A and B are shown apart, each in its own frame.
Chain A
């Protein structure tokens, strides 16, 4: 299993190639959508590159569980409810959801996903 630094370097390379950003923009705390301007289609590109770089398989909804965010059982008035938060914690053990839980507006989840979350996601996949 590669070290966290090795994972970070490969994740950085994938993000530089997929998003056309500079190396130094890809910091652990940078958010994918907010700081690195990733759009929804970019996530396909990122997943494609991560699968190749780490020889892993990432299923739809695994990195970003859009099925929860579009499920009326878990979302009311544009906000994720308690049950939805529990479900998100289960599905996204790799992500720090603290900030999201304070203001669980659906759109915020994608906005707050960081490079560090991606590194944790890969480590979680490699350990599985």
Chain B
């Protein structure tokens, strides 16, 4: 199983906001034991979904060229239970962005019902800090693959309203990294 906690984006407005959806299925491993006889999507994974949607939105503000990691969940509140058969809609909005990080407000709904609210902080790991990890956490082609799977370039719009183009971003594999 891959660590993908959004299925696809339905909106992706660069530098502003995004909407992503995730269908919750009984075939997912975590639903088997959480809880026995009464499957509930764990709220930690709902948070991960919001964080992934927000993280890709923030990463775009740095042209998908540098690593962005979830640094802090400043707030997370949950109001209901998410069951198998539900579809989660994640809405993320960039509240604040700076050279070294960003803040995102996120919500998760099932239908019209608010399930979760969160305030998330992301840290940008640039060339200076990247070296602390010794090796890159993932490669540009892996990021490109993920962006493609979740439909970012199908629905994404740049700040001027024109469609995002994959070729606008440095997602090609460098020869040295192959």
Q: Which residues of A contact B (CB under 8 A)?
A: 17-18, 41-42, 44-45, 47-48, 51-52, 59-60, 70
Contact = CB atoms under 8 A, between A and B. Distances in A.
A44 B128 contact: no
Given A41-B71, A51-B96, A59-B99, 5 more contacts: A41-B72, A44-B98, A45-B103, A47-B98, A60-B98
Contacts of A60: 98-100
B123 A41 contact: yes
Interface in B64-103: 71-72, 74, 95-96, 98-101, 103
A59 B96 CA distance: 12
5 tightest Cβ-Cβ pairs between the two chains A and B:
A41-B71, A44-B101, A60-B99, A41-B72, A60-B100
A48 B99 contact: no
A41 B123 CA distance: 7
B121 interface: yes
9 contacts: A41-B71, A41-B121, A41-B123, A44-B98, A45-B103, A48-B121, A59-B98, A59-B99, A60-B98
Interface string B112-139: 0000000001010000100000000000
Contacts of A51: 96
Given A51-B96, A60-B98, A60-B100, A45 B74 contact: yes
A42 to B, nearest CB: 7
Contacts of A18: 74
